[in-house]
Structure 1
Amino acid sequence: MNIDTIKDKLKHSFFPAVPIPFDRNGQIHEKAQEKYVNYMNEQPVTGVAVWVHTGRGLLITREQREYIFKSWRKGLSEEKIIICGVGARTAENMTEEKFIENTLEMGTQARDLGADAILVYPPTYYRGKDCMAEKIVDYHKKIAKLGLPMILFYLYNEAGGISYSKEVLEQLFSIENVSGIKMATLDSIVTYQDVSKLIFDKFPHIKLLTGEDRMFGYTVARGASGALVGLGAACQKLQWDMMNSFFQEDYEKFVRLMLDVDKLAECTFVDPMEGYIERMLYILSLQGIIPKDAVNDPYGPGLTQNEKEQIKNVLRELNLC
């Protein structure tokens, strides 16, 4: 899929960042995965994002990545597109060459499997290092040589991201393959506003995707062309209806639905933040989409009974279960 086609797809788009249902032994629950894919194909989404943080993309094996991609491609209708996360984990004593090699290996796998676009994980290897800005830009240029449409990823430091300066963003936005940027600052409204204004003023060809689960509605109103969010793993209709009401200029409906979406986010995207993945899987189980024994994230902190009760109460209030 070429860059212009992807840009068209990103306008008024909705991409759930999809989790992987695991069994209690930490293996992919294939039956649950199949049910989840079939369910998602009937939802009002533009496509899905796999191998991203919600899908534990930097933690699962190459073989698991391949299985997950093929599962989604087989089960989704042709018009729904797949965005693959691409990046690499850092490790003590890792060389820069190895970090780049691992990233390009993941990117090559995405390309060879048929990814429509890639979401580039922030290169945290360079955080605090000399010539950080130059290295960040060069890193993205190397990935661009894969030939896939690219979506940048501005992830807040506390979640393992790295801050991009205005100057860095301007250089990144000038890379030919770059089609958009996902913003996930968690609570930095100022940062989101600044990047939105930069795009509006100087780079209108770049599509801004909100990844702000806790500021979802506001960030749609503040310039997002679409969304790529972990919250979208469940309850897609509510979230799409909210977004679409804004795009259709039905602002009264938008505000009402925004408050409902906020309630959903406020019981799922809470400390410990790494628990949000299993919380979203839990919602899917409450709605009968996946079985209860598939509500496992082997890389997360687990769920408490209190968290489960809070989620149940919110879903009942919103008539979502």
Structure 2
Amino acid sequence: MDRDSIDWRGYIPAITTPFDANGALDLNAERQLCRWLLNEGIHGMIALGTQGEWFSLSRGERRDMLRVVSEELKGHMTIIAGCNAFTAEEVSANAALAAEFGFDGVLVTPPPYVCPTEGEIYEFYRRVNELVTLPICVYNWPPGTHVNMSRALLERICELDRVVAIKNSTAGFDMNHYLDVFFSLNDRVRVFGMPTNDLGISLTLQHGADGTMGAGAVLGREYADYFEAIWDGDIDRARALGQRLDLVMSRLFNPDYTAKYGSTQGTFKALLNLQGLPGGHTRAPVMDLDEHGLEKVRETLAILDRLPAGSVQPARAVGAGVSA
């Protein structure tokens, strides 16, 4: 397998997992969220990634989530299952569920919390590669794993025969690392994580960048339309959309993609909920945003003219003239 074994491209978000006010998994809300994403033209979706709160789900809940996502989206877009775990055997068990429900691939970080060495990380992925049957997207996520995989290590991992892609989430705080990995490996695997600005436009047009694996898809089709505009050659529209997408990140998130006013999961759910979309609640240990955080989210949505009718609207929205 290599980059040509898959057709993953465009905007592929890691979506949230809705819980109700009592912390129970809300599968009906998940179905609604999937249908909204489909109607918005999103190019793909990651279930049970960082924003999916995989760490608080039981095995039965994991199965239910993957089943529902598959029932709603299989055959309509690329679907990838987050299969993170502390051991390769646990990753394999999670990947078996993904294969059972027809997912197109799996997303795997190094074991979180452990802070393994580069040699240990390579052996982890080597063992995962032996055990799973689906294509593998390697996820370099320093804020969550506390390791930043070097280009040399990623080059070794990408020699494994099931590795087809990298989600390299370093562009916000270490662009040199992102670009180093991109130009070293983009001819072998698909390197996701590009910024949604002029650099992202250039990487797409001039160097064949495939897209980005983001989070939440809270502005719906605006993310998909950013890439569609680039592919169509409408660069002015792509720039205008990119400014709107970047505003969410600059106002509510730090350069390393951690959230400014609470958890990332709580922030993305608040962004959905305040638009009348099925974000749902978080589950402990993660907490919903407090009133201060909610007000910051509300202010951001107002600037973008994304609040429902009847809410207070700004005098001028960012990217005025770009349809949402």
Identify the residue that residue 205 of structure 1 maps to in structure 2.
188
**Matched residue SS, 1:187:** coil
Calculate the TM-score normalised by the size of structure 1.
0.83
Unaligned runs of 5+ in 2: 308-324
Counting only pairs closer than 5 Å after superposition, residues 31-46 of structure 1 correspond to structure 2 as 31-46=28-43
Compared CA separation, residues 274 and 71, structure 1 to 2 (3 A) = farther
Return the offset for 1:64: 0.8
**Alignment-mate amino acid for residue 87 of structure 1:** N
**Matched residue SS, 2:263:** helix
Residue 284 of structure 2 is aligned to residue 298 of structure 1: yes
Return the offset for 1:133: 2.6
Identify the residue that residue 159 of structure 1 maps to in structure 2.
144
**1:254 pairs with one of 217, 232, 238:** 238
**Alignment-mate amino acid for residue 207 of structure 1:** R
Residues in 2 aligned to 1:57 and 1:144: alpha-carbon distance in whole angstroms? 21
Return the offset for 1:125: 6.5
* 1:79-134 superposed Cα distances (whole Å, 9 cap, x missing partner): 32210112214xxxxxxxxx333222222222233221001112346635xxx333
Contact 1:154–1:184 under 8 Å retained in 2? yes
Residues in 1 aligned to 2:49 and 2:294: alpha-carbon distance in whole angstroms? 25
Calculate the TM-score normalised by the size of structure 2.
0.82
Contact 2:45–2:78 under 8 Å retained in 1? yes
Contact 1:87–1:120 under 8 Å retained in 2? yes
**CA RMSD of the aligned region, Å?**
2.4
Stretch deviating more after TM superposition (252-261 or 118-127): 118-127
Compared CA separation, residues 118 and 229, structure 1 to 2 (3 A) = same
Compared CA separation, residues 273 and 309, structure 1 to 2 (3 A) = closer
**Alignment-mate amino acid for residue 40 of structure 1:** L
**1:275 pairs with one of 240, 255, 263:** 263
Identify the residue that residue 27 of structure 2 maps to in structure 1.
30
**1:82 pairs with one of 63, 74, 79:** 79
Residue 177 of structure 2 is aligned to residue 191 of structure 1: yes
Compared CA separation, residues 190 and 56, structure 1 to 2 (3 A) = same
* Bigger helix fraction: 1
Contact 1:154–1:161 under 8 Å retained in 2? no
* 1:31-69 superposed Cα distances (whole Å, 9 cap, x missing partner): 322221221221212221011111012331111111111
Identify the residue that residue 93 of structure 1 maps to in structure 2.
none
**Alignment-mate amino acid for residue 174 of structure 2:** S
Number of aligned pairs? 296
Return the offset for 1:236: 2.1
User: Structure 1 runs of 4+ off > 4 angstroms?
Assistant: 2-6
Contact 2:11–2:213 under 8 Å retained in 1? yes
Return the offset for 1:288: 2.0
Counting only pairs closer than 5 Å after superposition, residues 210-289 of structure 1 correspond to structure 2 as 210=193, 215-217=195-197, 220-221=200-201, 222=203, 224-232=209-217, 234-270=218-254, 271-272=259-260, 275-289=263-277
Contact 1:154–1:182 under 8 Å retained in 2? yes
